Structure 1
Amino acid sequence: MDKLRLLEIFLATCEGGSFAAAARTCGTDPSTVSKAISRLEAQLELTLFQRSTRQLSITAAGQRYANTVRKMIQDLTTCEHELKHLNDAPSGTLRISSAVCYGHLYLRPLLQAFCQRYPAISLELEINDLHVDIIENNIDIALRTGYIKDSRLVARRLSPMDFLICVSPEYLATHGVPSCADDFQQHDWIGFRIKQTQLLQPIFLPDAQGEYQPYELTSRHITDDGEAMANMCIDGLGFAQLPHFLAREGLESGALVSLYPCYRPPHPDNGVFAIYPKRDYLPTRVRVFIEFITAALEAQGESTHHTWAESLVPMIRFQTAPEG
């Protein structure tokens, strides 16, 4: 029998004045109550009740102990009610960790509307591309492109991650439009270096049948920052294969054009994920944030299995091999 159960039986005995009354209150029998009180007295090395054949009376030590236990139980009950209320109401500090580009381009513009809707929630926002331990770092939710399998975590996909072959209209006006994937060998390319591995991100281009294949291309320019890569592309330094969330602003403004239909890696971990600790009761502040960002993404054409990039009309719909 655990200590809390012993204390509940002890208080029931104090209030009922007998083992029989305590047994009725606690849903057990007088013998179990008597053994529980004896066990508690043995643990404390104190006599809590004076026993006789006719009555049960609490000792001075027992009365003092009862006052303390009663207050402790009341404080515990009050704390449980307060915590339940906090969990039911969207309030408190929400700690968010986000990948750099996604945080700047997609998340940050949504935060004002979120805070207006939930004014009792305060934000702590971390922007980095490190796969930190969410639980050890006390992070409520992380937004990541891809995820690491961890049985302690839930990974909910917000959208796939589609890639687009982008270039500035000015570059095309100067250097011409490639007629097939092999033509890219004659053009400047902006490569992306993955910080964790220091490897260049693979480039996928469509073959003659429109199927995407990995291509070995020499990158004239290299960066490890996604926004820098997009801006270098806008500035006319060459082609870049950009994630949809990096390409969107340039494509919408006309600063970039997309040559081919989007490419979506077939891996199950491809996408943008909301990652949070697995728990029986998800804090309300986390739940409403997930609901908010999911609705906001749907409003701009993105969901678990779709992005706006699928409906984008490219300059070249499919790849064709040069004649002759």
Structure 2
Amino acid sequence: MFLATCDGGSFAAAARICNSDPSTVSKAIGRLEAQLGLTLFQRSTRQLRITQAGQRYADTVRKMIQDLTTCEDELKHLNDSPCGTLKINSAVCYGHLYLRPLLKAFCKQYPDIKLELEINDLHIDIIENDIDIALRTGFVKDSRLVARCVSPMDFLICASPEYLEAHGTPSHAEAFHEHSWIGFRIKETQQLQPIFLPDLDGVYGPFELTRSHITDDGEAMAHMCIDGLGFAQIPHFLAKQGLESGELVSIYPSFRPPHPDSGVFAIYPKREYLPAKVRVFIDFLIHSLAKMDESATHTWAEKWTPLIEFEHSGS
């Protein structure tokens, strides 16, 4: 209203510009003058004349509005264009085995996006730490966040060919008591991850089993299995390389936990206008996983041919 009064030369003109009325404009200018402790306009019955202080104030306000408009335009461009720094946080195993190999192609496709990659297994506050997107196995329920499932998490019972040759292949769950088993300790709870084994009909259930060896690192568990230290129940993204290279063998069909929090999730803050850099990264990740035969509802592990099939297979 102040700038409209400067440009229009009267409260009536300012009211027309601002779709208001002269009285409202006059009162607004009066409040502004009282707040500043300055007279911005000399008033008379015939004219309204801006003071020297008013003119200086008008020059400053006009520049501020110009700067604000420029800033808004730049921010809108940044939000609408895939550019700027994209801060990603990823779980360790998934980050090393699935995410990192994709980054070269992503950067080639979006050269104006600079990556800041954090890899750890800490469930940190992504809003407080200004993280654009996190990739997690399981997710923290937080109303401020969107958790989009990018794939289920399928588990495979694996061993090395050398171990099977030396110790034989168990035909059912009870037979595992005669074999070495590599257990996984969850860092946050310090509890051992449950083991799900098939019964004679191939129906999976939790099974009490003594672990011969224990680790809290997923990649170490996979490598210990490759090295022939025993069986391990391994997430599909950890088992993939070993199975494809022949260093691991999958004994039975894959097992998928029925819990809704089980899966791989892309987690990001709820926003009405999602920045383009986040949007294109999610699209790129989904497209890349599709090439690996993975989606929000299935993984390649479902089609992997195990060493032992069941006549009646569980989910």
Q: TM-score, normalised by structure 2?
A: 0.97
Of the three residues 103, 114, 120, the one matched with 2:112 is 120
Task: State the partner residue of 1:184.
Answer: 176
Q: Give secondary structure in 1 for the equivalent of 2:117.
A: strand
Q: Superposed, which structure 2 residues align to 1:45-124 within 5 Å? A: 45-124=37-116
Residues 147-197 of structure 1: CA deviation (Å, up to 9, x unaligned): 010011111111000000001111111111111110001100000111111
Residue 129 (structure 2) aligned to one of 130, 137, 140: 137
1:12 aligned residue: 4
The aligned residue for residue 316 of structure 1 is: 308
Is the partner of 1:274 in helix, strand or coil? strand
Residue 255 of structure 2 corresponds to residue 263 of structure 1: yes
Which residues of 2 match residues 270-289 of structure 1 at below 5 A?
Answer: 270-289=262-281
Mapped pair 1:303 → 2:295: yes
* C-alpha distance in 1 between matches for 2:177 and 2:34: 85
Q: Which residue of the partner structure matches residue 158 of structure 2?
A: 166
Distance 2:207 2:218 in 1: 20
Whole-angstrom distance in 2 between the partners of 1:148 and 1:30 = 55
**How many residues were matched structurally?**
312
Q: In the TM superposition, what whole-angstrom CA distance separates every residue of 1:225-281 from its partner, at most 9, and x where no partner exists? A: 111110111111100000000000111111111111111111111100011111121
> Would you say the 8 A contact 1:167–1:236 is kept in 2?
yes
Unaligned runs of 5+ in 2: none
Aligned residue type for 2:87: R
Q: The residue matched to 1:269 in structure 2 has which SS?
A: coil
1:31 aligns with 2:31: no
Moved over 6 A (4+): none
- How far apart are residue 35 of structure 1 and its match? 1.0
Q: How far is 1:208 from its partner?
A: 2.8
The alpha carbon displacement at 1:319 in A equals 7.8
| Residue pairs, 1:111-260, within 5 angstroms | 111-260=103-252
Q: C-alpha distance in 1, partners of 2:190/2:107?
A: 37
Aligned to 2:56, the other structure's residue is in SS state helix
**Alignment deviations for residues 272-307 of structure 1 (CA, whole Å, 9 cap, x no partner):** 001111112111111111110110000100000110
Q: Which amino acid aligns with 2:294?
A: E
Q: Which amino acid aligns with 1:54?
A: R
**Distance in 2 (alpha carbons) for counterparts of 1:295 and 1:287:** 12
Cα deviation, residue 54, structure 1: 1.0
1:124 positional shift:
0.8
User: C-alpha separation between the residues in 2 aligned to 1:298 and 1:187?
Assistant: 37
The one-letter code of the counterpart of 1:99 is: A
Task: List gaps (5 residues or longer) in structure 1.
Answer: 1-8
CA contact (8 A) 1:206 1:318 kept: no
Q: Secondary structure at the match of 2:214?
A: strand
Task: Report if aligned partners of 1:207, 1:319 keep a CA contact under 8 Å in 2.
Answer: no
Structure 1 residue 209 displacement after superposition: 3.0
| 1:97-117 alpha-carbon deviations (Å, 9 max, x no partner) | 100000000000000000001
Cα distance in 1 for residues equivalent to 2:29 and 2:272: 34
Equivalents in 1 of 2:310, 2:259: separation in Å? 22
